Amino acid sequence: MPYEFVISGLGELISKFNVIEYLKLDDSVTTKNQLMIGSVVDNLFEFLSSGFTRAYFYKPAFLKGLAHSLFQFSLLMPKGSELCSRSEHEFEKACVMAGVKMRHGIFVLCGTLVSMKLRKKAGSYRRILKIIQRVDLMEDLTSYFSFLLSRMERDEFKSSLQGLSKLREDRVGLWNYVDSSQVGWENLFREIYSDLCRAYQVTQTTNFSENGIVDMRNLAAAITVP
């Protein structure tokens, strides 16, 4: 399996932590469905907290866990995507419409960081950075946000991002609370890029065990995003 497919799958999974933030605010989502997806997300967190590094990305146990987690979310979409897709997927749509090209899961992971940064959900934002760090994607995400910044010189990209609040207006998400046309997108991307750079520097000084699994003892206070 190509490396970008693996990280796209991981990005899709990590984005579900953003989805559940908005399901809690959506009165149309039944208690039963909230409990159901909450259970799936709990299992996902256990899988992502295992601390696998990229050396494990092609080992059967990891690929089995990745495929199983993605399948569990697919079961929540028999008739629609409302339980698995919120503002992070709208961010992906805006990027694609502007001709920006990356893997789907990478887009929605970037959209997750954008969403939590704009909502000023510091605790949730730090948790996502820690998860990205645990699964050894910090260097990749830093590169992807650098790429997004390089595309900000295109007027069609800026225009597409500014129009996010008009996408799927009937679905509760970030754009019910934040007017995308008023967001300073380039500054926002630069802030997230800086956060990722700082976190990546921490990653470089974190100990790793001999079998390639992150030593979590030095990670507890690693992320210090304000």
- The pLDDT tens digits of the residues spanning 141-165 come to 999 999 999 999 999 999 999 999 9
Q: Quick check: 221 pLDDT over 70?
A: no
The span from the CA of 20 to the CA of 194, in Å, is: 26
Could you tell me which of 75, 88, 50, 62 has the C-alpha nearest to residue 3? 62
Per-residue model confidence (pLDDT) at position 169: 83
**In this predicted model, which residue has the larger pLDDT, 80 or 140?**
140
Q: Report whether 189 contacts 145 (CB < 8 A).
A: yes
Q: What are phi and psi of 208, to 5 degrees?
A: -125, 140
* Total number of residues shown for the chain: 226
**Least confident segment among 64-68, 87-91, 93-97, 201-205:** 201-205
Per-residue model confidence (pLDDT) at position 206: 52
How is residue 186 written in tokens? 């380039």
Per-residue model confidence (pLDDT) at position 217: 37
Confidence of residue 121 (pLDDT cuts 50, 70, 90): confident
- DSSP state, residue 224: -
- The pLDDT tens digits of the residues spanning 27-57 come to 888 888 888 888 898 888 888 877 677 888 8
The partner residues of 52 in beta bridges, in order of sequence, read: 213
- Give the domains, in start order, of the chain with CATH numbers: 3-214 (1.20.1090.10)
Per-residue model confidence (pLDDT) at position 210: 39
